[in-house]
Structure 1
Amino acid sequence: MQLDIFADSRDVMLRNDVLDALQRRDAVSARQAWQRLAGEFPDDDTLAGLATLIDVLDSDVTTPFVDHPALAAACGRLNDEVEPAARRLLGDAPGRAWMASCWRTVAQQAAALPFRAEVSDLHAAPLWLRAGDWGEAGRAVERIESWRRIPAPLTWMAEVWHRAGGVESALPLLTELAWLSPGRLADLLYRLGDASIDTLRRKFDANFEGAGQTADLAWFPAWVLIEKPGLAPLLRDAQPSRQTAPERATRLLLQILSLERQGNQHELVERRKALRDLHAGLYAAYMKTR
């Protein structure tokens, strides 16, 4: 068999030795393999990235962070240096998988840091999410007082419920998040990549008579009830929020759907009028289906 000079060249073999050890998370073997590669090929353009990944394996993984700036520094390094190197050298999907253990370590180190609204994303919960551990992420959120009334932890828990139980499980929290923080909902829907929600979102964006801004997503749950009235039992589980107009419209539509089944025409007329007063475009969309 003829030797493939590209696949079997010395530098490729030495580089693969480092990568194999990294995949096993064997820091000692990875360092030794890296030294062989650096000794024979000092100009290899992967040396710096490989050294970054090896350093992560070698770093102290037991000491809790003393404050939020320390956590910010660690997260910044993982985001800016380590993850790009892992995805470039190991491949995109394998690199992301390799990073899960790194995020798990940082989440453990951040476990004792309290939630601070001014640095809301510096908390163990979103780190557990990046590690793919939905159970630990949920437990971290539950330790935050009144988490269901605060945009950041509500976002994290909505993701936990979706990852663990699917869209039906998460729909009440997604509804509350729409009312509380449409911007965070937009970011979360992008991360989730849920085909069923994305289909509704595209139709909402195309047809809803709003300002054409992210803030329009506050009306998304109400619009969904018009498009998919069968979801009403799930949306009823959404807890009261700030009683904004989009929330009131959702509650009105839940009442309207119930009154339609009961055939209560007098109260139905009153609720429809109230919906029209809240949002004429939403009311028009509702009437098109009747």
Structure 2
Amino acid sequence: MQLDIFADSRDVMLRNDVLSALQRYDARETQQTLRRLSDEYPDDDSIPQLAVLAGALDLRSIVAFSKHQFAAEARGALVEKITPAALRMWGEHAGSRWLLPLWRELAQRASSLPFRADSIDTHAAALWLQAGGWSAARDAVLPIESWRRIPAPLAWMGEASYRLDALEQTWPLLAELAWLAPDRCARLVERMGDKPLDSLLKKFYANFEGAGDITDIAWFPAWVLIEKPALARLLIAAQPSTQTSPERAMRLLLELLSLERQGRHYEVLDYRKKLQGLHASLYSSYMSTR
């Protein structure tokens, strides 16, 4: 029996028609093409995923959220239903790109919602970061009172700063986040995917004798001054935080580097004793370079 190429590829053609309409974000045409596919090939495996994506276009809106609950519900649908469907139909790269306008709309609709510690995922800054809107994310953080003392907005600002200005301008924010919320700092570094930073952190974990858990990263800003003294000009801009031992250690090392440059040896000895009292492993790393 001769193969009828057109007949055997019609399901592919109809499926591609739906995908094409989706890629143009044309809700009406998406529903029409999806209906044709469903009528002719009701058992097609792609129909459930395509129906989810078609529904996402139907629900697009520019109306501002009046409550955090509504924003949370919309975000939940995007994360739990729409995103898996998009990634399945187009793959990681193309699927993520298709989702960006939907994330932007959520961010715009959430722009008037105030920051709430029990609903951080619905804040516009978090949504803008998902949408790749780095400048908008930074602008959304600035109105939050004392944002530099709250882990979530500090992490948002750190990521926005990195995307906009690269690692150099982000060091002070990373230091503050490491002291304030080590676990969140570790997740941010992983998201950033900066190879030089990852290499430094890997060397830190290999050489630093600490608790052996995620809290060790709080000592990283101090340790990195030993490994890269030139970073002192950047880390000196880190604002005072909670005055924990890791923060005091970094301040001590900043003073030590300055005193060494000035040749003030007696004062250097005094500061070295203070550093030794804060953390033996950090002091050992420092002395190994002297």
TM interval, shorter chain, is over 0.9
Q: Deviations over 1:173-220 (max 9, x none)?
A: 011101110010011111111111111111111111101110111001
Q: CA deviation at 1:171?
A: 0.9
Q: Does 1:85 align with 2:85?
A: yes
In terms of mean alpha carbon deviation, does 23-32 or 92-101 score higher?
A: 23-32
Q: CA deviation at 1:221?
A: 0.3
Q: Does 1:205 align with 2:205?
A: yes
CA distance in 2, matches of 1:111, 1:21: 29
State whether residues 19 and 90 of structure 1, in contact with CA within 8 Å, keep that contact through their aligned partners in structure 2: no
Q: CA deviation at 1:3?
A: 8.5
1:58 alignment partner in structure 2: 58
Q: Does 1:196 align with 2:196?
A: yes
TM-score (norm. length: structure 2): 0.96
1:127 alignment partner in structure 2: 127
In terms of mean alpha carbon deviation, does 206-215 or 65-74 score higher?
A: 65-74
State whether residues 38 and 44 of structure 1, in contact with CA within 8 Å, keep that contact through their aligned partners in structure 2: yes
2:22 alignment partner in structure 1: 22
Secondary structure at 1:206's aligned position in 2? helix
Q: Output the aligned Cα RMSD.
A: 1.7
Q: CA deviation at 1:39?
A: 0.8
State whether residues 151 and 181 of structure 1, in contact with CA within 8 Å, keep that contact through their aligned partners in structure 2: yes
Q: Does 1:9 align with 2:12?
A: no
1:212-251 matches, cutoff 5 A: 212-251=212-251
In terms of mean alpha carbon deviation, does 114-123 or 152-161 score higher?
A: 114-123
Q: CA deviation at 1:88?
A: 0.7
Distance change (3 Å), C-alpha of 1:91 and 1:3? farther
Secondary structure at 1:257's aligned position in 2? helix
Q: Does 1:177 align with 2:177?
A: yes
Aligned-residue identity in percent: 57
TM superposition outliers: structure 1 runs of 4+ over 2 Å: 2-8, 118-122
Distance change (3 Å), C-alpha of 1:30 and 1:228? same
Distance change (3 Å), C-alpha of 1:261 and 1:126? same
State whether residues 67 and 113 of structure 1, in contact with CA within 8 Å, keep that contact through their aligned partners in structure 2: yes
Instruction: Structure 1 unaligned segments of length 5 or more: list them.
Output: none
Distance change (3 Å), C-alpha of 1:198 and 1:6? farther
Instruction: Structure 2 unaligned segments of length 5 or more: list them.
Output: none
CA distance in 2, matches of 1:146, 1:265: 39
CA distance in 1, matches of 2:269, 2:4: 79
In terms of mean alpha carbon deviation, does 119-128 or 218-227 score higher?
A: 119-128
Q: CA deviation at 1:135?
A: 1.0
One-letter code of the match for 2:174? L
CA distance in 2, matches of 1:250, 1:6: 70
One-letter code of the match for 1:283? Y
Distance change (3 Å), C-alpha of 1:87 and 1:60? closer
Q: Deviations over 1:93-117 (max 9, x none)?
A: 0100111111111111111110011
Q: Deviations over 1:44-93 (max 9, x none)?
A: 11111111111111114122212111111111111110001001101210
State whether residues 72 and 121 of structure 2, in contact with CA within 8 Å, keep that contact through their aligned partners in structure 1: no
Give the count of matched residue pairs.
289
State whether residues 141 and 153 of structure 1, in contact with CA within 8 Å, keep that contact through their aligned partners in structure 2: yes
TM-score (norm. length: structure 1): 0.96
